[in-house]
Chain A
């Protein structure tokens, strides 16, 4: 692959950002093709926002390089800014101004004339269903309205690449679905979108390709189907009555399902990817024949937790990482 191939909207190689002793982003590589939606999936503090900030010229990388449509983010920042729209995790609009005033201001800054800016603002407000609230102060806006206005502001210059940092975090399910529709329409007009999310479901719904990021590193990359295949479409959770049976149960799972189950000894719990529901019957029979008694049996759709458990061998909670041999620094104070 050519390094400066313009068909890549984003190319990042070994991006690093350190805040004090904390390596918030620790060598991230990304390749995002033009005209696609790319999901960056990871828990809080994984380095998602920091990565976006570097790609959007808001933060200078400590090491590594990134190009947006072939233009280096450090050497040609002003040029890169003409190609991107950024919608932050916290709505980056002016609280003291009304919705119309915000959009007119950003339009004027982007070089539109007075009349053109007003027309553009009205058009975007209409499109995002904010016309009724156009003149109201932003303080009275709901979270969803703010996000919509924020997204509208990012679209004024019709940038070919749009960064959406956790566009639906904190939104209620109905508003989230509306936001998803908006993002889908956006992509159909030819934009490239890089979105970060904590929800596997969201990445699954929207993204063509997904990178799973953890502790500042990309731990997996692929299409949603590839990722799900790696964790099984669902996971099987078992709780054994006697914790001493845990090892035997794990061995049985490996023999029958052909996968390795993760154990949580203190809870007597086993979690295994489940690709084929039929095989579970065989497993249960095997366990009964071995005299292993179960207190609980459940099937769970893959959650980010499972993806993590499978991909990294540790969960998203910080306390699960204590026994991790590599003992990487933990990310409490990250900007991400």
Chain B
């Protein structure tokens, strides 16, 4: 076969654990695979290109007049809200696509390779931040074309984008978990939207919470999506949102800390 002869199994230096460095390298290699896949099948990007434009236009003109008097005054309030809603919806697709991907034979090979167990999942999730980035960019561009001029300028928009993308990546672990345990891609979508709709609509993403009944205001107050929306809103407006920002990042860290190990365990059991 090759010129080199095979080193016998008994004479190899081996270790039974994976270092953190290798875990990161493996995950990045898997992320590279995810990017190649996106490049090969650009039609998967339809949701992150059309949805932000459509939703931003639609909701601004539907709600704008009723809530803020006119569409233009509604935009600074609404745009961070619809951004969060769009990007989080996109993270559901991550779970659905992971399910489809895992049914392919190549995952058998990933399982048989001496790589970090988390890498095939972490890589896929990491590559999907590109999708969140596209959705974020298009939402802001649409808003800009409609007359949205954020007070905090480009720096604020950039900071808000990063926070939203980080939060969506953390949330995508939840949907990845559904992706691993579900039987089919369709059921992943079903369960995920069941979680997603109350979380995004029962928040301050579309309307200020003060007209809602008390019990709902209470839920909106503790809803992590509200913290994320408030943080993004504050960052684009240039107001102080340290508290919400901290709550958002802490929430994101907790979600990853809980769901990443759960997902990997479920993935290993499936193996």
Contacts of B115 in A (CB 8 A): 109-110
A136 CB to nearest chain B CB (Å)? 12
Identify which of residues 220-240 in chain B touch chain A, using a CB-to-CB cut-off of 8 Å: none
B113 touches A188 (CB 8 A): no
A79 touches B16 (CB 8 A): yes
B113 touches A96 (CB 8 A): no
Known contacts A93-B109, A108-B29, A161 near B15 by CB under 8 Å: no
Kindly state the separation between the CA atoms of A137 and B37 in the bound complex, as whole angstroms.
12
Contact residue range for chain A?
Answer: 35 or more
B5 touches A190 (CB 8 A): yes
Residue total for B at the interface (Cβ-Cβ under 8 A): 40
Q: Is B9 engaged at the interface, CB distance under 8 Å to the other chain?
A: yes
A189 touches B5 (CB 8 A): yes
Residue-by-residue, is B14-31 near A (CB-CB < 8 Å gives 1, otherwise 0)? Answer: 111110001001100110
Identify which of residues 55-83 in chain A touch chain B, using a CB-to-CB cut-off of 8 Å: 56-59, 68-71, 76-79, 81-83
Residue-by-residue, is A174-207 near B (CB-CB < 8 Å gives 1, otherwise 0)? Answer: 0000000010011011111000000000000000
Q: Is B6 engaged at the interface, CB distance under 8 Å to the other chain?
A: yes
Which of chain A's residues has its CB closest to B112's CB?
A86
Identify which of residues 102-151 in chain B touch chain A, using a CB-to-CB cut-off of 8 Å: 104-115, 119
B108 touches A92 (CB 8 A): yes
A88 touches B108 (CB 8 A): yes
Q: Is A131 engaged at the interface, CB distance under 8 Å to the other chain?
A: no
Identify which of residues 105-121 in chain A touch chain B, using a CB-to-CB cut-off of 8 Å: 105-106, 108-111
Q: Is B7 engaged at the interface, CB distance under 8 Å to the other chain?
A: yes
Known contacts A34-B8, A59-B271, A82-B114, A97 near B40 by CB under 8 Å: yes
A29 CB to nearest chain B CB (Å)? 20
B9 touches A158 (CB 8 A): no
Known contacts A79-B15, A94-B104, A153 near B109 by CB under 8 Å: yes
Partner of B40, one of A105, A110, A137: A137
B9 touches A111 (CB 8 A): no
Contacts of B2 in A (CB 8 A): 123, 127, 155, 158, 189
B253 CB to nearest chain A CB (Å)? 27
B6 touches A101 (CB 8 A): no
Q: Is A259 engaged at the interface, CB distance under 8 Å to the other chain?
A: no
Partner of A57, one of B22, B112, B119: B112
B29 touches A109 (CB 8 A): yes
Contacts of A68 in B (CB 8 A): 9
Contacts of B5 in A (CB 8 A): 189-190
A78 touches B16 (CB 8 A): yes
A336 CB to nearest chain B CB (Å)? 14
Q: Is A95 engaged at the interface, CB distance under 8 Å to the other chain?
A: yes
Q: Is A39 engaged at the interface, CB distance under 8 Å to the other chain?
A: no
Kindly state the separation between the CA atoms of A209 and B51 in the bound complex, as whole angstroms.
61
Contacts of A6 in B (CB 8 A): 9-10
Q: Is A160 engaged at the interface, CB distance under 8 Å to the other chain?
A: yes
Closest 10 CB pairs of A and B: A69-B9, A6-B10, A81-B114, A92-B109, A190-B6, A160-B9, A92-B105, A86-B112, A82-B114, A108-B29
Task: Please list the residues of chain B having a beta carbon within 8 angstroms of any beta carbon in chain A.
Answer: 1-2, 4-10, 12, 14-18, 22, 25-26, 29-30, 32-33, 36-37, 40-41, 104-115, 119, 271
22 contacts between A and B (CB under 8 A): A58-B108, A58-B271, A68-B9, A69-B9, A69-B10, A78-B18, A81-B112, A83-B9, A83-B14, A92-B108, A97-B33, A97-B36, A97-B37, A106-B109, A109-B115, A110-B113, A111-B22, A159-B6, A160-B6, A161-B9, A189-B4, A191-B1
